[in-house]
Amino acid sequence: MKSTRHLETLAIHAGRVGDPSFGSLSTPIHQTSTYVFDNVAQGASRFAGESEGFIYSRLGNPTVRELEQRVAALEGAEDGIAFASGMGAVAAVIFGHLQQGDHLITSKALYGCTFALFTEDLARFGIEVSFLPEVNANTVAAELRPNTRMIYLETPINPTLEVIELAPIMALAKQHDVLSVVDNTFMTPVLQRPIELGADLVLHSATKYLNGHGDVIAGIVCGSAEAVTNLRGGPLKTMGAALGPMDAWLIIRGLKTLPVRVERHQSNTEHVAQWLRQHSQVGNIYWPGFKEHPGHSLIGTQMAGPGALIAFELNGGYDAAVAMMNAVKLCRLAVSLGDAETLIQHPASMTHATYSPEELAEAGISPGLIRLSVGLEHHEDIVADLAQALAQAQQETLAARPSAA
């Protein structure tokens, strides 16, 4: 899938399966569960992997195939494979590669359901996991064991927005024959291409920026042709989290504008982040675009930009945060991210409710942390809504305070 074309072009044209019958510009939605064979020999040879051609839509579908090939091209990977959700993709990578007795290294802060998979499910299957509070080549090297099989990273991390320097860790993984996996959901291939930094596999919740319109749940994994073939013949076939063609088509449509959307998401975020930072009610604020952010120096090398997620705390703590989130009008109080709508949510009780209070503290997710996914509305309208929500929160906090008398 490697191509020298620009990302904007690949997002529209790469990996086209198209419509050989009528030449429609838009790829047809192949809403079919199965495919008719010419004869038994043809069916048998497809099952044996001896000839090309679709068999059954759990194993592959032309519309889904176009999506897979397009995202692989964007990520600079040989091939891609779609799943019914981001968690379907994460689970396929884990169960497709790890077995009883293996060891996995990851970070303490992670998307909440990935954390739940790693803590609750992997323990049941006898797979050990090390959750590092700080991830760099030194802390990973110190944690390597003879049975370490995988390093699994998100960067920036959901929801803390810590940035992990990938290249040295990917090199370490190669040196020790450990599979490296990067969840690139927050950055998209527009801002970061982990395969080029040495990752073996890159995965996405395609529910987010790749689709971008808040109407699909999907996941995708990209990597070598061999790795993708193994996932198709393994977890996709036997666990079955296959993406439907209608959902694939919606993401194909969304992808056409991915580079344009990411650019606007980011320029809006620049305005919103700078405004929030100077606000008297805002305390700690995390966004890799700030010069003081520890990950800022990787912009221009590892990442082309800081992305469009901001995490922040209010000086009034948890109560003020709840009051603010309840008061938004234009922004929507909802989990997910990467949509046209600005979304605000409370990690401790929502996306990361899978963490115990102690685990939240260890992961640096404070009870009052707010996560904002800056959308595509005009930045002045987003700021105006946040301003009125903060004013409302201030009023409520003052009213709740016992009087001095």
Q: State the residue number with the nearest CB to ligand LCS.
A: 86
Tell me, yes or no, if 58 is annotated catalytic.
yes
- Shortest Å distance, C-beta 8 to ligand LCS: 24
154 makes contact with ligand LCS (CB under 6 A)? yes
Q: Which is nearer to ligand LCS, 86 or 295 (CB)?
A: 86
- Shortest Å distance, C-beta 114 to ligand LCS: 6
| Residue 30 to residue 82: CA distance in whole angstroms | 15
- Shortest Å distance, C-beta 144 to ligand LCS: 24
Position among 229, 336, 354, 388 found at the interface with ligand LCS (CB under 6 A): 336
| Residue 377 to residue 330: CA distance in whole angstroms | 9
Q: Is the dihedral of CA 120, 122, 125, 130 positive or negative?
A: negative
Stretch that binds ligand LCS, among 118-126, 280-288, 311-319, 333-341 (CB under 6 A): 333-341
Q: Are 332 and 375 in contact (CB under 8 A)?
A: no
Position among 148, 207, 211, 366 found at the interface with ligand LCS (CB under 6 A): 207
Position among 61, 85, 107, 342 found at the interface with ligand LCS (CB under 6 A): 85
For residue 22, the SS3 value is: coil
Catalytic residue (choose from 65, 102, 108, 111): 111
Start-to-end CA span in the chain (Å): 72
Position among 351, 366, 394, 397 found at the interface with ligand LCS (CB under 6 A): 351
Nearest to 390 by CA among 317, 309, 327: 327
- Shortest Å distance, C-beta 185 to ligand LCS: 4
Beta bridge partners of 51: none
Stretch that binds ligand LCS, among 30-38, 81-89, 254-262, 290-298 (CB under 6 A): 81-89
Stretch that binds ligand LCS, among 26-34, 273-281, 330-338, 393-401 (CB under 6 A): 330-338
Catalytic residue (choose from 58, 174, 253, 256): 58
Q: Can you list the pairs that 275-281 forms with residues at least 24 positions away whose Cβ atoms lie under 8 Å?
A: 275/383, 275/386, 276/310, 276/312, 276/386, 279/390, 280/315, 281/314, 281/315, 281/316, 281/320, 281/390, 281/393, 281/394
Tell me, yes or no, if 208 is annotated catalytic.
yes
Position among 252, 337, 344, 390 found at the interface with ligand LCS (CB under 6 A): 337
For residue 352, the SS3 value is: coil
Position among 68, 79, 183, 247 found at the interface with ligand LCS (CB under 6 A): 183
Place of tokens 């510009």: 25
How many residues belong to the site for ligand LCS (CB under 6 A)?
19
Q: Which is nearer to ligand LCS, 336 or 388 (CB)?
A: 336
Position among 61, 205, 211, 397 found at the interface with ligand LCS (CB under 6 A): 205
107 makes contact with ligand LCS (CB under 6 A)? no
| Residue 279 to residue 95: CA distance in whole angstroms | 46
Tell me, yes or no, if 371 is annotated catalytic.
no
111 makes contact with ligand LCS (CB under 6 A)? yes
Q: Is the dihedral of CA 278, 282, 284, 287 positive or negative?
A: negative
Pairing outcome for strands 179-183 and 201-205 = parallel
- The conformation of residue 65, written as its DSSP 8-state character, comes to H
- Residues from 211 through 240 that contact ligand LCS (CB under 6 A): 217, 219
For residue 190, give Cα distances in angstroms to 147, 235, 304, 308, 381: 35, 28, 8, 12, 26
Q: Are 42 and 226 in contact (CB under 8 A)?
A: no
Place of tokens 């790749």: 210
Stretch that binds ligand LCS, among 79-87, 135-143, 229-237, 377-385 (CB under 6 A): 79-87
| Residue 297 to residue 301: CA distance in whole angstroms | 8
Q: Which is nearer to ligand LCS, 85 or 130 (CB)?
A: 85
Position among 15, 86, 223, 288 found at the interface with ligand LCS (CB under 6 A): 86
Position among 1, 87, 163, 190 found at the interface with ligand LCS (CB under 6 A): 87
Residues marked as catalytic: 58, 111, 183, 208
Contact positions vs ligand LCS (CB under 6 A): 85-87, 90, 111, 113-114, 154, 158, 183, 185, 205, 207, 217, 219, 335-337, 351
